[in-house]
Chains A and B, each alone.
Chain A
Amino acid sequence: MSQPETIIEKIWNKHVVHQEEGKPDLLYIDLHLVHEVTSPQAFEGLRMNSRKVRRPDLTFATMDHNVPTIHRNVIKDAVSKKQMETLEENCEEFGVSLADIHHPDQGIVHIIGPELGLTQPGKTIVCGDSHTSTHGAFGAIAFGIGTSEVEHVLSTQTLWQAPPKTMQVKVNGNLGTGVTAKDLILAIIAKFGVRFGSGYIMEYTGEAIREMSMEERMTVCNMSIEAGARAGLISPDEKTVQFVEGRRHAPKGEEFEKAKKEWLALATDEGAVYDSTVEINADEIEPQVSWGTNPSQCVPVSASVPDPETVTDDEDGVRRALEYMGLEPNQPIESIELQHVFIGSCTNARLADLRKAARMIEGRKVHEGIRAMVVPGSFAVKQEAETEGLDRIFTEAGFEWRSAGCSMCLGMNDDIVPPGEHCASTSNRNFEGRQGNGARTHLVSPEMAAVAAVEGHFVDVRNYTSAAERVI
């Protein structure tokens, strides 16, 4: 019998085009997702060198980062407009499929890939965006690249990549009631830090991961980059196969049956050895809220902000973060006053996320002084949510209901948080200025964000009765 292998080695080895001493491997790329922000200079490079896109059929583009989420026909920002027009022209010239701002397939690139069935187990997937790790939820090696690499993939469909080190992130036990996938990944990053995954591809394993839906797995893999890992993935199982089956770009009929066998065989073999393993107990994890300016700076909602005087690591960093966030040492998380709530982003803007958030607020009202916004991850998510009536639950509570895009996750469009104001956000980064210059971001799950919108501050969602459970 051959040596047991991890899924990472299996996928990698199947994609090596060329290998030689003293060089990284030349790795074949199966799917290249493109968006308006990190591609213009790459297409320009092709033009300057009279090069073409080698495999337009493996390349798919959309607009997400700076699209307006309201009044889509009038793009006020001339520079954004120019960037979107440039993507249209480039896709036209180089023969790349594009879901533009008015297209029914439009959405955040990491949400539409799985939705359309472009994302499949065993693929190598890249995009000029660090949250490409999201697609790893399907058992794919998916990672973010810079614009020069975008140009390289457009031109050659390959990348020079050193074989990665492998890391197992083993989640023991199960998450408690009311504790989400978002809380798990935040707790992992809080425990092990923002760079423990650097140089690795991580595989998430364990009972809690197996129990998760595909949407929840995407939330976990999405934030691998916040732990420093370019890619994070999960071995495919029946849930993975079921999610992909029937989607537009998925194999059909006999081909699907054949693909299914191959996909399930990708799962890490019993006894395979990783270069490194970390473990966390799921049952000890509580709902999380970030208090600082990187994703490791988060604590359980029942806890307090740390005191720089008593921390054992990065005292200056903690002090600077507290100053930026306008928080006092030892201040209880539940006492932080909020002005904004954002439900959206490639981390948490899928239909399942919106359902969970809606369930918490049905029949309730957004707290006075809070501006709350829902930005569905794609046009399709928006439509399905509207068919179910989720939009009405949100708008009746006082939320704004927007069109699909990255929106307030990074504030490239008009959706920004003003200086000094606090935002409960379902996004992935709480860096200084991320949601707007001087904006103060708190990373949370959709359930926590929804409840915070109603209460005006964070509360333990486990003690919060959802509308469906309330005794009338």
Chain B
Amino acid sequence: MEAFVRHSGLVYPLNRANIDTDQIIPKQFLKRIERKGFGKFLFYNWRYDDDGNLRDDFSLNYPEYQDASVLVAGENFGCGSSREHAPWAIQDYGFRVVIAPSFADIFYSNCFKNGILPVQLKGEEVSQIMDRAEGGECYLSIDLVDQIVFDGTGWSATFEIDEYHKNMLLNGWDEISVTLTYDDAISAFENQQS
């Protein structure tokens, strides 16, 4: 997995609460057996019209957000299904960071397996970013080591993250390789059960 240490990029604001995984990636794209190539289907029903053309009234399609790599959204982002196709689509589209006041549990843990940093900030901090990004170009830097989000104007916000997930992302570790070093403990547990 690609490591994540820090990232600076353009913010795309999507000011809606409860954005569910069916919106992030609709079911018709879950039939594929690959991990790659889901970016073009991200927010499919919002981004494209019935004929498959990009809609000009959905903000992700606006010219000013084309290079965005930091997605900022409302409460409970990623609620609904466990489909990892959701973070796959977000990552493949080009986002490295998702900032929201809260995340759904399964989506949150799925992000860490795919080199995406989910950043939980206070509601008012998210609103501040949202206002600025909706009003004009907004760039943010996100530093995982220091657990801080900041911009060039002196604005900053810190965030919490547990040590385990932090180390996993900082080092780009493959979790299974790490767990396999506990093979003896797993075998001992199994022997004691049987």
Complex Cα–Cα for A37 and B31 (A): 6
Within 8 A of A (CB), among B23-40: 23, 26-28, 30-35
* Beta-carbon contact of A198 and B31 below 8 Å: no
Taking CB as reference atom, which chain B residue is nearest A162?
B162
Instruction: Determine the interface band of chain A, counting residues with CB < 8 A from chain B.
Output: 35 or more
A426 interface residue (CB < 8 Å to B): no
Does B170 count as interface, using CB distance less than 8 angstroms?
Answer: no
Q: Which of B123-131, B136-144, B146-154, B173-181 faces chain A?
A: B173-181
Q: Is A434 an interface residue (CB 8 A)?
A: yes
Q: Tell me if B104 is interfacial: C-beta within 8 Å of chain A.
A: yes
Interface string of A158-178 (1 = CB under 8 A from B): 101010000000000000000
Distance A317 CA – B75 CA, assembled complex (angstroms): 12
Given contacts A18-B185, A77-B31, contact A148 B84 (CB under 8 A): yes
Nearest residue, chain A, Cβ from B86:
A146
A-B contact count (CB 8 A): 161
**A94 close to B (CB within 8 Å):** no
Residue pair B23, A431 in contact (C-beta under 8 Å): yes
Task: Flag if B106 contacts A230 (CB, 8 Å).
Answer: yes
- A23 on the interface (CB 8 Å rule)? yes
Shortest Cβ distance from B83 into A: residue: A38
Q: Decide: B33 and A148 in contact? CB cutoff 8 A.
A: no
The complex places the Cα of A132 from the Cα of B27 at a distance, in Å, of 18
Whether the Cβ atoms of B18 and A317 lie closer than 8 Å is yes
Cα(A8)–Cα(B101), bound, Å: 28
Asked if A22 and B110 sit within 8 Å, CB to CB, the answer is no
Beyond A162-B162, A195-B76, whether A44 also contacts B33 by CB under 8 A is: yes
Interface mask (A254-292 → B, CB under 8 Å = 1, otherwise 0): 000000000000000000000000000000000000000
**Given A22-B163, A146-B83, A160-B164, A198:B102 Cβ within 8 A:** yes
Q: Does A469 contact B (CB under 8 A)?
A: no
A376 within 8 A of B: no
Expressed in whole angstroms, the Cα–Cα distance for A397 and B58 within the complex equals 44
Given A145-B106, A317-B17, A431-B23, does the pair A66, B33 have CB atoms closer than 8 Å? no
Q: Is the CB of B80 within 8 A of A130?
A: yes
Contact B176 A151 (CB under 8 A): yes
Determine if B114 is an interface residue (Cβ-Cβ < 8 Å).
yes
Residue picked from B31, B34, B182, most chain A C-beta under 10 Å: B31
- Any chain B CB within 8 A of the CB of A156? yes
Q: Is A308 an interface residue (CB 8 A)?
A: no
Contact A86 B164 (CB under 8 A): no
Q: In the complex, A37→B86 CA distance in Å?
A: 13
A429–B18 CA distance with the chains assembled, in angstroms: 13
Nearest 6 A/B pairs, CB to CB = A148-B113, A146-B84, A40-B33, A144-B82, A146-B110, A147-B84
Instruction: Given A26-B185, A128-B82, A160-B164, output 14 extra A-B contacts at Cβ < 8 Å.
Output: A28-B189, A38-B83, A38-B84, A66-B31, A80-B31, A83-B31, A146-B83, A149-B113, A151-B176, A155-B180, A156-B186, A195-B75, A316-B16, A433-B26
